[in-house]
Structure 1
Amino acid sequence: MGLSFAVLAATLTHVALFHGREIWQQTKATLKDEYADVHTRIMKKNYDVVPQWWFHTILVIVTGLALLTCEGFGRQLQLPYWGVLLAVGLAFIFTLPIGVITATTNQQPGLNVITELIIGYMYPGRPLANITFKTYGYTSTSQAIMFLSDFKLGHYMKIPPKSMFVVQLVGTIIASSVYFGTAWWLLTSVENICNPSKLPEGSPWTCPGDDVFYNASIIWGVVGPMRMFGRLGLYSKMNYFFLIGLLAPVPVWILSLKFPEKTWIKLINVPIILGGTGGMPSARAVNYMCWFAVGIFFNLVVYKRYKGWWVRHNYILSAGLDAGVAFLAILVYFTLQIKDINGPTWWGLELSDHCPLATCPTAPGIQVEGCPVFH
């Protein structure tokens, strides 16, 4: 959690220091309708741009539907209108800096933790409000960047912008309708769905992924960040990670100015380093060993010896590795796992979190067999 705090703060500082001037120049060029990008000039010459009022209309409609969803239906979602507007505002503020990090590194920081933290402080004791606020804040940003990626691909492929807009809109309506219909059908047709204690052994309807949202609703919505990261909690020092993340990119930026001939200094991306470190507790050792083997080998050996080859085929290699993982996952499932044939347990793949006392109470004076008693 502390590293999650630091990543968001570092994202703002890093983008402001390393890309602030470029963003300002591009903004002025856009307002003056001056485009230096050859792709943009070709697109403007051959196709009509998407009118801004199309985007504004969609924004007004979906925001109105969100307000209706939260304020209507007996307020079952617990989130008031101001929570929806605040979530939309957070998405508006963070989409640009997170988009810059995503565009330059292909790694996307998320607003999931900060949204839970904010609404947990402002509106404690309401788990559904916490999840809803997180969805409108975090998911809006991630979906916006996904749509931007589609537009970028269409831009380079010279696809008409209006066609891209219509396809995205239709695809969104179809996908959301299918998702909603599927979820509704499963919840009403599968008895005891998402309740492992009442399901037969081997049932596929245990919903392990939904536990993440449920646990988050309890931790941030019911217990609340005040009792964890505030004056009533044990982890108030974690808030210093906001300051650490805010200041961490500054030394790198100063060094890049002091030694401009060392171009590699500008490639040190503090938000990505912090984000990768934060991913280690939930990942297993094999994830990082594979990354290390491939990344170090190809960067240090192949790059130096076959520099031109590496530049031309970098993205092809990345896509090939992703496709290989997906293909082998399907192959292993249908040939081995579906027949309950599992391989050996390699080092680094243990399911244990190596925290044997994680279920023990920490309140003073409570005695539980096998657990220490705190005083």
Structure 2
Amino acid sequence: MVFACCNIFAEEINDSPIEQVRLTVPITDDPTLPCLTFRTWVLGLTSCAILAFLNQFFGYRQNPLYVSSVSAQIVVLPIGKFMAATLPTKPIKIPMTKWSFSLNPGPFNLKEHVLITIFANSGSNSVYAVNIVTIVKAFYHKNLHPFAALLLTQTTQMLGYGWAGIFRKYLVDSPYMWWPSNLVQVSLFRALHEKEVRPKRGQTRLQFFLMVLTASFAYYIVPNYLFPSITALSFVCWIWKDSVTAQQLGSGLHGLGIGSFALDWSAASSFLGSPLATPGFAVANVLGGFFMILYVLIPIAYWTNSYDAKKFPIFSSHVFDSTGTTYNSSRILDEKNFRFDQPSYDGYSKIHLSIFFAFTYGLSFATLTATLSHVALFHGRSIWRMWNQTKAMIREQGGDVHTRLMRKYDAVPQWWFYTILVLMIALAIVACEGFGKQLQLPYWGILLACALAFIFTLPIGIITATTNQQPGLNVITELVIGYLYPGKPLANVAFKTYGYISMSQAVMFLADFKLGHYMKIPPKSMFIVQLAGTLLSSSVYFGTAWWLLTSIENICDPKNLPEGSPWTCPGDDVFYNASIIWGVVGPQRMFGNLGLYTRTNWFFLIGLLAPVPVWFFSKKFPDKKWIRLINMPIIFGATMIMPPARAVNYITWGTIGIIFNFYIYRKYKGWWARHNYILSAGLDAGVAFMAILCYFTLQNKDINGIKWWGLDLDDHCPLATCPTAPGVVVDGCPVF
């Protein structure tokens, strides 16, 4: 027994103290492998630019496809090997210097592949600040200086480097901060670089990927161009064509979606991410929350007429006035100064929300406090223990084998991070205070947002690094600036972006640094790639958005778009309405003592207490392992992206997730382990390539297909958005 314990202790000294890391991450390194090669730069920058373009391009569409870095991770492998087999190996001298480089320094290696994937990660992560540019130009119809907009996108993305640099020794170097999500990437890298022999009557992983990509590419012309209506098939509406209630229940796009589904991969993956890559327990929690909220809470609230719910659509992200018509925000905005006009507001109407949107904010409050409560109860003791071990490790300059192996490489100087931090804060102040103060946020707002990001980066980093859950700061930031500086819509969204996204970016940078730590990438190479990728991706996201906003007529305006046009901007529509709620009117007039929705503040308390009974029963019945898998933050936050996501997206996503991550995972685990993630990447890539081909060859030339009912990007449930309160008049709806 003593001998066994000594062996375990020795194993942890020579490996990682975290079992999952010991089982996944190799403890070897080859420091002779080249990293920042010609292949790395060409394939990395190309992957970054393509993914940034695709994700922003698709971000304005009805089903905003998300193309993850996994697609690039798989696609660049054969290209890298092809370059290694064909490019010349002779060194190329740089004129007037002693430097030289090789186009082909040897076989395409794992470290090059990791750095290319880090480039791709930069391109696959959206630029939140582009939402601000979109609502200014497409919703408020105001001018915005392009350089101010570019500075906004760059500074919000780059500020995170400062916070990451300050806390990296705690969140990266420590073996107890293990970042569970990175282990999936490590596993995939190992699978792709292990030598593979094609099984008898089977395919290699690469052959399977190419087969799926081809099939997905060929099929996607149907939902994207020939038959867009199959992105939401709502049979209940078609059976009861004249019933408002039936269409409210059955519409997958504008109602509760009972019986609706989609025959379109992008409908399943566009909002919730790939259902194939979501763990089974998370799928179950999301679906549990979805069904309880959509089929229990919302019907009870609507048909008991809570908050005058029957005056408005049952499901909508828009804001309404007291008569049930869409709120005219221009009536409460001072056109000259673009700020809240109190007398006009008093003479017009308070803002009303659909019952679903009202509960969306209440549930966001519950999710915030439930996350803190859940993490404290279920992970608090282990996080505290790991934090104490981390501090002890840093004092003693010890560490696990991965930390010791990384000491062979030069660390990134701390002044690199501080320089970027100071420069970005200065440029952020220029962006907001300069250019006629178009962004409305004063310098003290920038500094306060930075203070919030600084305070929360370490605790949220610890939570994410140990539990794989990342609480967001969007609600806190909106509340803070909404109370301090009401009536300024752009100041509100800019403050939220600087406070929330710079912290989120810091956590992303730290996660990438930890991936490099596991894969033994020189820290300076990681830093250079992250920096170059962030600058490039931010520029491409901004450039793509600006191009689409200035070239597509009536973009983001479904009422005036041509029939079949996909450019409806569902995510930006929600962002715009949030800017009215939190920025123009302000939280005090919505959720405070001057508002209609003060009772939603009880959700803060509900969220705080909800994890307690789950924790209690998990302790009382430790043999019931399923109790610990009940995750109240996920359940409360299940419908947080509705809208812009719709019921049909959840139903399709959940169906696929249940099939693959419960049935196939349990019955055909070998197939699942070998093919599941590659299937997801192939489906994503095929959809992306066909959508781009259709746009540039057909849709860009206004060739939108044969005119028929299936061309509509709609589920043909026109009565689903109708109110049911007596006397409310809405075009196209019966009056009760």
TM-score (norm 1): 0.77
1:122 Cα deviation after fit:
1.6
Aligned pair partner of 1:354 in 697, 715, 720? 720
Change (3 A) 1:122 1:309: same
What is residue 214 of structure 1 aligned with on the other side? 576
2: CA distance, partners of 1:200 / 1:271: 38
1: CA distance, partners of 2:412 / 2:501: 24
Aligned-residue Cα RMSD (Å) equals 4.1
Alignment of 1:1-375 (within 5 A): 1-31=361-391, 32-33=393-394, 37-44=400-407, 46-96=408-458, 98-99=460-461, 109-180=471-542, 190=551, 201=562, 210-280=572-642, 282-306=644-668, 312-313=673-674, 317-328=676-687, 330-331=689-690, 334=693, 338=699, 339-340=704-705, 344=710, 349=715, 354-357=720-723
2: CA distance, partners of 1:233 / 1:120: 13
1: CA distance, partners of 2:490 / 2:716: 33
What is residue 111 of structure 2 aligned with on the other side? none
Change (3 A) 1:264 1:56: farther
Amino acid paired to 1:43: M
1:272 Cα deviation after fit:
1.5
2: CA distance, partners of 1:172 / 1:332: 25
1: CA distance, partners of 2:569 / 2:665: 44
1:123 Cα deviation after fit:
0.9
Change (3 A) 1:284 1:21: same
1: CA distance, partners of 2:601 / 2:722: 27
Aligned 8 A contact 1:43 1:155 in 2: yes
2: CA distance, partners of 1:71 / 1:244: 40
Q: Deviations over 1:299-347 (max 9, x none)?
A: 443444455765x45xx5245225414413543675698542689599x
1: CA distance, partners of 2:652 / 2:693: 24
TM-score (norm 2): 0.43
Structure with more helix by fraction: 1
1: CA distance, partners of 2:657 / 2:648: 14
Equivalent pairs, count? 362
1:280 Cα deviation after fit:
4.7
1: CA distance, partners of 2:526 / 2:709: 45
Amino acid paired to 1:29: Q
1: CA distance, partners of 2:553 / 2:660: 49
1:70 Cα deviation after fit:
2.8
1:120 Cα deviation after fit:
1.3
Aligned 8 A contact 2:402 2:518 in 1: yes
Change (3 A) 1:306 1:177: closer
1: CA distance, partners of 2:389 / 2:381: 12
1:154 Cα deviation after fit:
1.8
1:130 Cα deviation after fit:
0.7
1: CA distance, partners of 2:636 / 2:711: 29
Change (3 A) 1:241 1:372: farther
2: CA distance, partners of 1:319 / 1:10: 34
2: CA distance, partners of 1:103 / 1:345: 46
Choose 249-258 or 291-300, whichever is displaced more: 291-300
Q: Deviations over 1:222-258 (max 9, x none)?
A: 1112121111111111111111112222222223333
1: CA distance, partners of 2:623 / 2:552: 65
2: CA distance, partners of 1:291 / 1:17: 30
Change (3 A) 1:266 1:98: farther
In structure 1, the residue corresponding to 2:721 is in which secondary structure?
coil
1: CA distance, partners of 2:552 / 2:490: 23
Amino acid paired to 1:269: N
Change (3 A) 1:121 1:308: same
1:18 Cα deviation after fit:
2.5
Choose 150-159 or 102-111, whichever is displaced more: 102-111
1: CA distance, partners of 2:625 / 2:683: 33
Choose 266-275 or 326-335, whichever is displaced more: 326-335
1:14 Cα deviation after fit:
2.0
User: For structure 2, which runs of at least 5 residues remain unmatched after alignment?
Assistant: 1-360
1:11 Cα deviation after fit:
1.7
Change (3 A) 1:50 1:208: same
1:355 Cα deviation after fit:
3.5
Change (3 A) 1:199 1:335: closer
Aligned 8 A contact 2:383 2:466 in 1: no
Change (3 A) 1:264 1:356: same
2: CA distance, partners of 1:253 / 1:181: 48
Aligned 8 A contact 2:556 2:573 in 1: no
